[in-house]
Amino acid sequence: FFNRVRRHLPWEVILCVDQSGSMTDSVIHSAVMAGILAALPAVKVKLVVFDTSIVDLTEYASDPVEVLMSV
């Protein structure tokens, strides 16, 4: 049974998103992308948004609607 098991290193993806007024479209796309990546079992996702301060939204990364409401 061990021949079928492949060992792999888990990926860690850090999404840094600019949430300023001119970057509204990128916030929407990155929220959806964070939701997709958070659903993958081999990927750890960290979501950080910044403008004048830095906010860690990692716990909301799996829910794009919650990310958009938080921003």
* Cα 64 versus chain centre, distance: 9
pTM for the full predicted model: 0.75
The residues, any chain, with a CB within 8 Å of residue 38's CB and separated by 6 or more, are 45, 61, 62
Distance CA 23, CA 26 (A): 5
Tens-place pLDDT, residues 13-52: 999 998 888 888 888 888 899 999 999 888 899 999 998 8
- The label of the residue with tokens 């919650």 reads 66
Q: Could you give phi then psi for residue 9, rounded to 5 degrees?
A: -90, 135
Which range (1-5, 8-12, 31-35, 63-67) has the least confidence?
1-5
Distance CA 65, CA 70 (A): 9
What pLDDT, on a 0 to 100 scale, did the predictor assign at position 25? Answer: 82
Here the tokens at position 18 are 């600019």
